[in-house]
Amino acid sequence: LGVSHEVSDYDHWKKVFDEDEHIRVKANLELRAISTNADKPNMVNILFATDDIDKAKEVINSEELRKRMTEAGVRSEPVFAVFRVPPQLAQQP
């Protein structure tokens, strides 16, 4: 699952993001990577792994997460993308 959105201040956003580990656990989301765009450092991209996309979508659409994103300074509507890893690639170390 990929998520991209613009934030007001990366350091503040990251502090709130780190505090919300319990939300990610509840959604069965395993953090794989966080990056910012080279040309737009306030654009944050997050990559998660999950084996239950329905559970993840339920939490993504929750009022609790929307509230926390506002508190974190998210300035744009998040863009979500669901990626599927082909079985032959999923087996590689």
Residue-level pLDDT at 83: 87
Residue-level pLDDT at 93: 57
Which 8-state DSSP code applies to residue 74? Answer: B
Max distance between CA atoms of the chain, in angstroms, equals: 40
Residue-level pLDDT at 32: 96
- In the chain, which residues have pLDDT < 70? 90-93
Torsion of CA 35, 45, 6, 10, to 10 degrees: -30
